[in-house]
Amino acid sequence: MEIKQNVALKPYNTFGVKARAKQFAEVSEVSEILELLNIQQPELILGGGSNILFRKNIDGLVVKNNLKGKEVINEDDQSVEVRFGAGENWHECVLWCIEKGYGGIENLSLIPGTMGAAPMQNIGAYGVELKDVFVSLEAIDLEEKVAHTFAHTECEFGYRESVFKTTLKGQYFITSVTLRLTKTNHQLNTEYGAIQQTLEKMNVQNLDIKSISDAVIQIRQSKLPDPADLGNAGSFFKNPVLLKSQFEVLKALHPDMISYDLPDDYVKIPAGWLIEQCGWKGKQIGNTGTYKSQALVIVNHGRARGDEIWDLAHQIQDTVHAKFKILLTPEVNVL
């Protein structure tokens, strides 16, 4: 394993912004991580770079995770537990599961990035979150240099949250993730978004995990920019969650406000709608702007610097706060 010096990070982040790593190494074995830790602590662990905004150069070691592998570790007639290497591409794992007939993650089709980053923010889309199929993960304690297994409850999953983004931030290198998937009686989830409509348009006769995945892929391709064509990191902000009582006050002032009920008297408001109401949808400022079909996605029109994107994010935050008294918080990891 080689430690390279002064490496360009542009090819390693889907925003496509320029930044450099003082040192850079790629690991494909757990032993290589331990070997690295004996030399130097990493400044950043990198998966697919699809949830990161570089505002500056990284003045330390960046470790790119290439740990591969898919292994069935438990199985009965109903379900299967598969352990995935943390460097596996998420969407390729979804397609692999569908081919094997394993259900549970088809609604999470086409989310960019790696398996190891999926628990970081409990990835979610179309009514399903990683936590719904998650069993456990293995991670290396960067300080103690030992492996630890985290059970579901220890990960403290929430909406785009886990313990690895909060109290244990920067302390562990996730090396594998185990998911429990169904082999029969799949729980087909078509309620959310435009899945049902898209399935009808596709004239699907036999609803199965493959057709749901195909519908999700079709919707996502029509709604979201492909980072290969237009730099972005998906949703820049989280959807704000408010108490129903707070929401009622806002709704009286803004009767058109969209919301989704959550358990325990909470309400989720689509951040994209709030941003759109402030006139940001499709707007371009210099090298950056928001996507024409989804105001929640900040894009790089080609030569944007990380700071330029961060400035725009602040302007969006300010105008949304001024109009709705809601402070948007970033979903993207800003470095």
Ligand X SMILES: Cc1cc2nc3c(=O)[nH]c(=O)nc-3n(C[C@H](O)[C@H](O)[C@H](O)COP(=O)(O)OP(=O)(O)OC[C@H]3O[C@@H](n4cnc5c(N)ncnc54)[C@H](O)[C@@H]3O)c2cc1C
Among residue numbers 158 through 217, which ones bind ligand X (CB under 6 A)?
Answer: 172-174
Residue of the chain from 17, 19, 21, 46 that contacts ligand X (CB under 6 A): 46
Going edge to edge, which strands form the sheet with 70-75? 70-75, 79-85, 172-182, 134-141, 146-151
Which listed range, 42-50, 147-155, 201-209, 257-265, lies at the site for ligand X (CB under 6 A)? 42-50
Using rule CB under 6 A, residue 294 touches ligand X? no
Does 143 participate in catalysis according to the annotation? no
Indicate the residue among 163 and 242 with the shorter CB distance to ligand X: 163
Cα separation, 100 vs 169, in Å, equals: 34
Using rule CB under 6 A, residue 120 touches ligand X? yes
Residue of the chain from 109, 121, 213, 218 that contacts ligand X (CB under 6 A): 121
Which listed range, 47-55, 197-205, 273-281, 309-317, lies at the site for ligand X (CB under 6 A)? 47-55
Among residue numbers 214 through 253, which ones bind ligand X (CB under 6 A)?
Answer: 224, 227, 232-234
Using rule CB under 6 A, residue 51 touches ligand X? yes
Residue of the chain from 23, 50, 277, 288 that contacts ligand X (CB under 6 A): 50
Indicate the residue among 20 and 244 with the shorter CB distance to ligand X: 20
Which listed range, 98-106, 115-123, 205-213, 276-284, lies at the site for ligand X (CB under 6 A)? 115-123
Indicate the residue among 152 and 220 with the shorter CB distance to ligand X: 220
Q: How far is the CB of 251 from ligand X (least distance, A)?
A: 27
Q: How far is the CB of 139 from ligand X (least distance, A)?
A: 7
3-state secondary structure the chain: CCCEEEEECHHHCCCCCCCEEEEEEEECCHHHHHHHHCCCCEEEEECCCCCEECCCCEEEEEEEECCCCEEEEEECCCEEEEEEECCCEHHHHHHHHHHHCCECCHHHCCCCCECCCCCCCCCEECCEEHHHCEEEEEEEECCCCEEEEEECHHHCCECCECCCCCCCCCCEEEEEEEEEEECCCCCCCCCCCCHHHHHHHCCCCCCCHHHHHHHHHHHHHHHCCCCCCCEEEEECECCCEEEHHHHHHHHHHCCCCCCEEECCCEEECCHHHHHHHCCCCCCEECCEEEECCEEEEEEECCCCCHHHHHHHHHHHHHHHHHHHCCCCCECCEEC
Does 160 participate in catalysis according to the annotation? yes
Cα separation, 81 vs 90, in Å, equals: 16
Indicate the residue among 114 and 190 with the shorter CB distance to ligand X: 114
Using rule CB under 6 A, residue 9 touches ligand X? no
Using rule CB under 6 A, residue 86 touches ligand X? yes
β-pairing, 284-285 vs 288-291, is antiparallel
Does 245 participate in catalysis according to the annotation? no
Residue in this structure with the two tokens 């009286």, named with its chain if needed: 252
Q: Which amino acid type is present at position 270?
A: P
Residue in this structure with the two tokens 């993960």, named with its chain if needed: 137
Neighbours of 163 (CB within 10 A): 19
Q: How far is the CB of 283 from ligand X (least distance, A)?
A: 19
Using rule CB under 6 A, residue 48 touches ligand X? yes
Using rule CB under 6 A, residue 111 touches ligand X? yes
Using rule CB under 6 A, residue 52 touches ligand X? yes
User: Which one from 160, 180, 211, 213 is the annotated catalytic residue?
Assistant: 160
Indicate the residue among 223 and 325 with the shorter CB distance to ligand X: 223
Which listed range, 117-125, 146-154, 204-212, 247-255, lies at the site for ligand X (CB under 6 A)? 117-125
Using rule CB under 6 A, residue 114 touches ligand X? yes
Footprint of ligand X on this chain (CB under 6 A)? 14, 44-52, 65, 86, 111-114, 116-118, 120-121, 123-125, 172-174, 224, 227, 232-234, 333
